Amino acid sequence: MDPYDELIRLLNQQGWAVSDSAISPDWQAGLLARGQELWAGGRFRAGQVGRGVKVNLPEVRGDWIHWIETGSSEEAHPFFTWMTQFRQALNERFGMGLRSQEFHFARYAEGKGYQKHIDQHRGTDYRKVSIVLYLNPDWDAADGGELCLYQPYHPDEEMQRILPLGARLAVFVSGMIPHAVLPCRRPRWSIAGWLRTDVPNPHA
């Protein structure tokens, strides 16, 4: 059994999955340190909403992000090789035709969240699988910031709340699962990204 088996089984069965053992705490700590370094160096920008015309709406989407570019030192981290292999495993099992992946660091300041949304822009379906790796050591239920998943086709019905615990990996089907990030009470760090069927241009 490869390390993706359980994740893939759950993803297939229920459209989402969480694992606390797939990603090692060493990777979480190293990636957090790198994210904090980039943050201290002013390398984050406000997350935006919309395609084509993009706008800052901090009440809708409150994170600041740093895209991980192809060939950057960040991208050399084994987490991204792991993701390439996970993507290949999904292609082998389900013929999903996932041709690329994209990831960014995200930091939500205290009080920020992300209102309910779906991870596909209107009229496009290239993003197939959403991935979030949480980087927060010592996160407590009182710190909030849960990822909240809602029922496919019934976005008013809450399905699952997931605390952003360090080294926790959450995956879900991008086009089906409405979700939100509830406001957090201390800075909330993650790497979020998508497995895609197209090969997009580099992020500007």
User: Radius of gyration of the chain from Cα atoms?
Assistant: 16
Q: CB count, 10 Å around CB of 187? A: 15
Q: Nearest to residue 129, comparing CAs of 84, 174, 88?
A: 174
> Among ligand OGA, Mn ion, none, what binds residue 181 when CB lies within 5 to 8 Å by partner kind?
ligand OGA
Question: Could you list the residues that contact ligand OGA (CB under 6 A)?
Answer: 106, 114, 119, 132, 147, 179, 181, 190, 192
Nearer to ligand OGA, 96 or 163 (CB): 163
The size of the interface with Mn ion (CB under 5 A), counted in residues, is: 1
Residue-by-residue DSSP string for 13-45: HHSEEEESSSS-HHHHHHHHHHHHHHHHTT--E
Nearer to ligand OGA, 93 or 203 (CB): 203
119 near Mn ion, judged by CB under 5 A:
yes
Task: Tell me how long the chain is.
Answer: 204
Helix (H) or strand (E) holding 130: strand 127-134
Contact flag: residue 102 with Mn ion (CB under 5 A): no
Q: 93 or 185, CB closer to ligand OGA? A: 185
Is the CB of 7 or the CB of 147 nearer to ligand OGA? 147
Nearest residue to Mn ion, by Cβ distance, number only: 119
Question: Rounded distance, CA 19 to CA 15, Å?
Answer: 14
For the bound state, the minimum distance from the C-beta of residue 131 to ligand OGA, rounded and expressed in Å, comes to 10
The set of residues, in sequence order, having a beta carbon less than 8 Å from that of 1 and lying 6+ positions away, is none
CB of 94 to ligand OGA, least distance (A): 22
Q: How far is the CB of 2 from ligand OGA (least distance, A)?
A: 25
